[in-house]
Amino acid sequence: MIAMKRSIARASYLFCIIYFFLTSSIFAQQAPKIEWQKCLGGSQREDDENTAPHDIIEGTAAGYVILGTTNSDDGNVSGNHGKMDIWFSRLSSSGTLRSQICIGGSGDDEGYSMIATSDGGHAIAGFTASNDGDVSGYHGGANDAWVVKLDANDNIEWQKCLGGKDEEHAGCILQTSDGGYIVAGWTTSNEEGWFNHGESDAYIIKLTSSGNIQWQKLYGGPSGDAAMSILETRDGYIFAGTTWSYSGEVSGTHGDSTAAVGDIWIVEIDKVGNIKWQRCYGGSLAEWVTSIIHTTDGGYALSSWSESKNDGDVSGHDTADYHKNDHFNLDAWILKIDSLGSIQWQKCFGGGKDENAYEIRQTVDGGYVFIGSTNSIDRDVSGQHSVKDSFDVWVVKLSPSGVIEWQKCLGGTQNDEGYSIFQTPDKGYAVYGRTNSNDGDISGNHGTYDVWVVKLSPATDGVDRPSLEEKTTASIYPNPSTDAIHFSISSPIKQ
């Protein structure tokens, strides 16, 4: 009798194990499919070698609005002012180019960040080296941070050059609850009234609704500091940047103070820019943050990449990536933190080569999706198209706790990189990046690098669930058993 009970227990235990793996496989999400893709550009580059086209957002009508950079004045592009221009375009829901404008002057002008504004227009943040065309008020030096406000008809309503006599960039813009704007970037200017702490400082500017400066402040330490992304909080703002400093307004960095390696730097400030708290995240080597978002639980999620050696805050970086020159290849690094900056979870994602994460968004199911690039073919990465160490666009869907639900490589045999993503109303995804390919997933390239927009379908289970419920039968025999147990299943399972 005891032996029979043990046999039944063993059989029940085995059945549970088999059922777990079967149902895990049955109900695992399959990566979405490409519904359509579109290359946009002209015969010259639609990017800069050192920076990247940045944003895609949902249009006020059905379709998409994209922010890029162009050197072209042919193909899909007209109205270029000289060198690099900001390129603002509208697409239909099927990817057809509806309208486009070039914004800039005779120097180099680029856009990093774009938002839809409450009046039906858009605001763009980037930099300019021009003082003609659409640009006025340039301060000189290398670049000014530049903010452009468009009305609902895509006409320039106002524009503002921000900065000192050296170099400034605006990495992010956000419309605030008072109708104005908050801009995050960095500056190397160091002149009277600027109080720069070191090589470069994080640069935060509060603007009125008409673009006038309400206040501006610099943050950092004796080395380089930059702000990349900013959010409004209940009683102030929080910005995410990268710091190479070890003192000044920066504390808690993880690297060796004799070598500038870079930590993620999160700073919460009040409504007039005073620091409430700050925190550094990273390991003994370099980390770089790209975006911060609000999460539905009141905390934040960050996208970044890391090369640290599983130390400090970083764990999960595959030791097979370790190099003789004492560093790892880059992994995409995603952090989930609470409202006061404590880490709730962090995960490294990638393969044996390099990955990065440029943007993260929370999805309607409470999980996350991030977009970046990969040139790996192992570990977390499969389906890579490129050759000779070039990159694919990489889209990864995570559960609320950071577990990969699906991943997808998009691209061709040349270099393709992903920069921006959002979930569409049908629970699919709109993807934005750049491509130098004209094969694989890509067709229609105009020459060199094009802006590349991809519409992905919703993810699926890959199973006809009603059919599964109606037709699946399972049995264990013999039961009870003293040694071997046989399991059989009859169902339309496809994987």
Residue closest to 228 by CA, chosen among 293, 136, 272:
293
Angle 466-470-473 from CA coordinates, rounded to 5°: 130
CA distances from 89 to 68, 373, 399 (A): 8, 23, 33
- Residue 198: what pLDDT? 81
The model's pLDDT over 2-57, given as tens digits with 9 standing for 90+, comes to 444 444 344 444 444 444 444 444 345 799 999 999 999 999 988 765 555 578 88
Which carries the bigger pLDDT value, residue 58 or residue 484? 58
pLDDT of residue 469 exceeding 50: no
Q: For the segment 385-414, what is each residue's pLDDT rounded down to a tens digit?
A: 977 789 999 999 999 999 999 999 999 999
φ/ψ of residue 9, rounded to 5: -60, -45
Domain count across the chain:
2
Helix (H) or strand (E) segment spanning residue 26: helix 2-26
Supply 160's token pair. Answer: 């503002």
Which stretch of 172-186, 429-443, 463-477, 478-492 has the lowest confidence by average pLDDT?
463-477
3-state secondary structure of 20: helix
| Structural domain harbouring 12 | 1-28+469-495
SS3 category, 36: strand
The verdict on 195 and 103 lying in the same domain is yes
In CATH, what number is assigned to the domain containing residue 72? Answer: 2.130.10.10
> Is residue 300 located within the same domain as residue 273?
yes
Co-location of 321 and 422 in the same domain: yes
Average pLDDT, the chain: 87
> What is the model's pLDDT at position 314?
95
Contact of 452 with 442, CB cutoff 8 Å:
yes
Q: Are 60 and 84 in the same domain? A: yes
- Residue 106 sits in the same domain as residue 156: yes
Say whether pLDDT at 105 is over 90: yes
Q: Of 196-205, 417-426, 459-468, which one has max mean pLDDT? A: 417-426
pLDDT per residue over 159-196, tens digit each? 999 999 899 999 999 999 999 999 999 999 987 666 77
How long, in residues, is the chain?
495
Asked whether residue 145 falls in the same domain as residue 195, the answer is yes
The verdict on 61 and 2 lying in the same domain is no
Rounded distance between C-alpha atoms, residue 304 and residue 132, angstroms? 36
- Report the alpha-carbon distance of residue 370 to residue 405 in Å, rounded: 12
Same-domain status, 205 and 269: yes
Do 39 and 23 lie in a common domain?
no
379-383, 426-430, 436-440, 463-467: least confidently modelled range: 463-467
Quote the CA–CA distance of 476 and 478 in Å, as a whole number.
6
Do 5 and 35 have their domain in common?
no
Instruction: In whole angstroms, give the CA distance from residue 450 to residue 42.
Output: 7
The pair of three-digit structure tokens given for residue 3, joined into one six-digit string: 């032996």
Task: Tell whether the model's pLDDT for residue 75 goes beyond 70.
Answer: yes
Contact between residue 126 and residue 86 where contact means Cβ atoms under 8 Å apart:
yes
For residue 41, the model assigns a pLDDT of 95
Q: Are residues 307 and 173 in the same domain?
A: yes
User: Burial letters for 345-354: b for 16+ Cβ neighbours within 10 Å, e otherwise?
Assistant: ebbbbbbebb
Model pLDDT for residues 245-292, shown as the tens digit of each residue: 989 999 999 876 555 589 999 999 999 999 999 999 999 899 999 999
pLDDT for the residue numbered 141: 81
Is the same domain home to 260 and 332? yes
* Cβ–Cβ < 8 Å for 451, 41: yes
449 near 46, Cβ under 8 Å? Answer: yes
- Quick one: pLDDT at residue 59? 78
Out of 317-331, 374-388, 410-424, 427-441, which region has the weakest mean confidence (pLDDT)? 317-331
Model confidence at 77, pLDDT cuts 50, 70, 90, reads: very high
